[in-house]
Every structure is written in C-alpha cells, then in structure tokens.
Amino acid sequence: MKMKLGRTLLLFLCFKVFCYAVVATPQTCPASNVDQCGDSDGWEGEFFPEIPKIKYEGPSSKNPLSFKWYNPEEEIHGKKMKDWFRFSVAFWHTFRGTGADPFGAPTKYWPWEDGTNSLSMAKRRMRANFEFISKLGVDFWCFHDRDIAPDGKTLEESNANLDEVVALAQELQTKAKKRVLWGTAQLFMHPRYMHGAATSSELGVYAYAAAQVKKAMEVTHYLGGENYVFWGGREGYQSLLNTDMERELNHMARFFEAAVAHKKKIGFNGTLLIEPKPQEPTKHQYDWDAATSANFLRKYGLEGEFKLNIECNHATLSGHSCHHELETARINGLLGNIDANTGDPQVGWDTDQFLVDIQEATLIMLSVIRNGGLSPGGFNFDAKLRRESTDVEDLFIAHIVGMDTLARGLRSAVKLIEDGSLSELVRKRYQSFDTEIGAQIEAGKADFEYLEKKVKEWGEPKVASAKQELAEMIFQSAL
C-alpha cells in the first residue's frame, strides 16, 4: 500500500513538474506558423527561430550569417567599432517593404503578415523588429509614425493608435536595451499632402502637418530618441507656373521655427535633422542638396538648430557623390547623421540599395573620422531588399553585408590616415599658402593692390602637378 502511495505521489509530482515546465517555457512559434500563435498582444514566440544571433567570425568565414569585418567591441582609432557606426535598422524598409516598384506588384509576403494594417498586426511587426535588431546586434532603430501604427479616420484616432504601439515599443526596447536613433512623421503618402505639407497651398494641410509633427516629436522624445528627422518628400514644386516659391519657402521656415519651439517646450534634447533630396516625388525639392539646405538654414537663422541627415542615394540623384555631400555638410558644421544606402547608376530613381562598394565606404568613413564621429547621429540602413530577394534570411544577409562593407571602409580609412601619405600629398599641394603672404590672404589682409605688386615682382607663377594619379594609387593601396 505504501509502495502504491509512493508511486502515486511520484507520478503526481512528475505531472506537476511537467505542467510547470509547459507553463514556464516561453511559447515558441516560427514565423511560418505565426497565424496559430494567437493575438500579438501577448505573443512571446520567435519570428526568426532558424536565425542565430549574428557574431563576428572574421574574414575567412564562409558563414553568410556572420560578420567578416564588423567586430563591434574592437577598438579602432580610439573608439569601439560599434561607436563609430551606431547602426540603426529602418522600420519602414525592413518591416513595411513589399518589393513593389513603379512597374510591379509586391513580391514579399513575410510569414508573420496577415494582410491587414490593424493594430494587432502593427504590434506583431514591432515584436518582429526587436527580435531582428537583437539577433543582428544593432543598438538602434528608426521609424515614421504611420509605418509603425495605422492611420485613423481622424487625427485623434491616429494619435491613439500611435500611442498604443509606442507603449509596446517602449516596453520591448527597455527589455532589449535598444534605443531610437530618430523618429519622423510621414508627410508625403496621404492624399492630403499632394501639394506638400509645410509648403502646401492649403492652410488646413499646413496645420494638420504641424499637428502630426507635434505628435511624432513627442513620441520620439518619449522613446528616448536621439534625433528627429524632416524629409520633405513633397516640399517642392512640379511647375513654377502655379507656384509662389518665395511664399512656400517662407512657410517652410515658419514650420521649422515652430518645430524648434515645440522641441524646447517638451524638453526634447535630440538633434533636429533635415534630409536633402533633389527631386522625386516632386520635380524640384527645396532641400536639393547639402549646400542648398545649408543656405536655407542660414537665410532663416536656423543653422544653430538643425543639422543634416545625408543619404548617399539622394546625393547621387543631385549629381554629387556621397563623399561630396558629407564633406559639404561637415565643413559647414552640419553633418549629423547618414542614411547608409546607394543607388544604381543605370536606374534613374531612388533605389535604396544596401551599400556594398568598399571604395565608397572608405570615402564615407574618411569624412566621418574627420568629423570626429556622428554621435548623437549614426548610420541608419535606409535600404531595402531587391525586389527579387524574398527569403526571410535575406533581411539579415542584406544588413550583414552593409555593416561589413562600412566596417571595411573604416579599416581602410584608418589605414590611410595612419599611413599619412595622402594627407602629406594634399599638404604639399597647398604649401604655397603656408607662407607669410599665404597667411595674409587667408586672414583677409591682402588686398588686390598688394597682390598686383607681388605678381609684378614674381613674374609668371609656376604651377605644380596635382598628382591625382598618385593620390588614387595611395587610396587604392589601402582598400
């Protein structure tokens, strides 16, 4: 009898332990079976169960789900590699990208999507976002308000939707120890913004845009965001025949002034960033490039309140290299953040491809090093998978190659700087200005009469070689 009682007790205890294990073990649910995991509000499963945490394995690794060049804790040129980059994942491309283009329907149907833009679906995407950046080993993420939460029928409903998703995001990012690099308001997709937002010809639209930015800035502040971005996708014109350009520019300046005032009112200490782009979707956008944006800020006395978010693909659309735009922003004291992507020279629109060119990455990192880094900005992957890339693991591979490319660029740039040959070549090219008269010119103390006198004394000047090929040889040797 005692033996039977003992067996019964043992079975009961085993059953209790089994039940406890079932309850205590977190629910796992592969993305391929996500519909059976219930509502996302309490869902704790994995979206990427077959993807491990991405680790550094070195240049000889053949594992596509590993870093070959990006070693986040490695110190290089006085900083940890992760601190040089401050990498961020763009929510809109990674979790809202569909593969659609001007000529074709969507090609991406991620397993966790249910075909709706509901609040439940928004929360599911947010959970996927934090699992993704945690496994990728990235510390930051970026968002548009309408990408993370559905638009409502009224401003109040839209704000309520945003609040609900942001509350979940705050919970998830605290748990994962992640941060917002920057937030922004999407002021270009809705039909109300067909004439622009801050530059709309309709006062009601201007006011609506202001209300939307107010809310987006507040939630960015709530999430601990370190920057806030303005991308004026439709702040420009299609034709000057029906446009009062001066009035629109004045309105945009008033809009930015109000944004600065609200930032200070709510105690948001983040940097305000303007993202230049020449055209698309408008024919001409008012923040055409870094120089145009710098001139706008100076004209309206805003240069102390804003910096620039330079996107490499936008730079090439404006007829410049990314390096040119970064240097223009840097020497004007306006380099704040970089949207890391590139375009295709054979395609005429903003393709937002992941950066894979080591040469371009090295030039980018030369500017970043000269700038002393980007903090509180960073590198945001405003880049999307190609239309033909449709596997879930492609999301990881694309970011890995982008991070590795910039890491190789950093290593090459540091090699160039430490070698010193390129800097010495540049110094020698301008050495005639390192004289007493050169110093007078640079100090603004040499007038034309004085310089005319010196020319008569010296005669025809000798002009030295620029040594461009040698500069290119030195540069290539570091790659």
Tell me the pTM: 0.90
List 104's β-bridge partners, or say none: 101
pLDDT, residue 41, reads: 54
Residue type, 179: R
Catalytic residue among 77, 93, 144, 323: 144
Contact 425, 465 (CB under 8 A): no
User: Would you kindly state where each structural domain of the chain is located, as residue ranges?
Assistant: 41-418, 422-477
Q: What is the chain's pLDDT, residue by residue, as a tens digit (479 residues)?
A: 433 434 443 344 343 333 333 333 334 445 555 555 545 555 567 999 999 999 999 999 999 999 999 999 999 999 999 999 999 999 999 999 999 988 999 999 999 999 999 999 999 999 999 999 999 999 999 999 999 999 999 999 999 999 999 999 999 999 999 999 999 999 999 999 999 999 999 999 999 999 999 999 999 999 999 999 999 999 999 999 999 999 999 999 999 999 999 999 999 999 999 999 999 999 999 999 999 999 999 999 999 999 999 999 999 999 999 999 999 999 999 999 999 999 998 988 899 999 999 999 999 999 999 999 999 999 999 999 999 999 999 999 999 999 999 999 999 999 999 999 999 999 999 999 999 999 999 999 999 999 999 999 999 999 999 999 999 999 999 99
What is the spatial distance between Cα 340 and Cα 361, in angstroms, rounded to a whole number?
A: 9
Instruction: Find how far residue 204's CA is from the centre of its chain.
Output: 30
Q: Which of 411, 448, 438 is nearest to 77 (CA)?
A: 411
pLDDT, residue 25, reads: 33
41-418: CATH class:
alpha beta
User: DSSP secondary structure string, 178-230?
Assistant: -EEEEEE---SSSGGGTT-STT-S-HHHHHHHHHHHHHHHHHHHHTT-SEEEE
Measured at the CA of 193, the angle between CA 187 and CA 194, to 5 degrees, comes to 135
What is the spatial distance between Cα 293 and Cα 229, in angstroms, rounded to a whole number?
A: 14
Prior bond of 49 cis (ω within 30°): no
Positive/negative CA dihedral, 66, 69, 70, 71: positive
221 labelled catalytic: no
Instruction: Find how far residue 84's CA is from the centre of its chain.
Output: 14
Q: Which of 222, 205, 225, 301 is nearest to 260 (CA)?
A: 301
pLDDT, residue 349, reads: 87
Contact 215, 225 (CB under 8 A): no
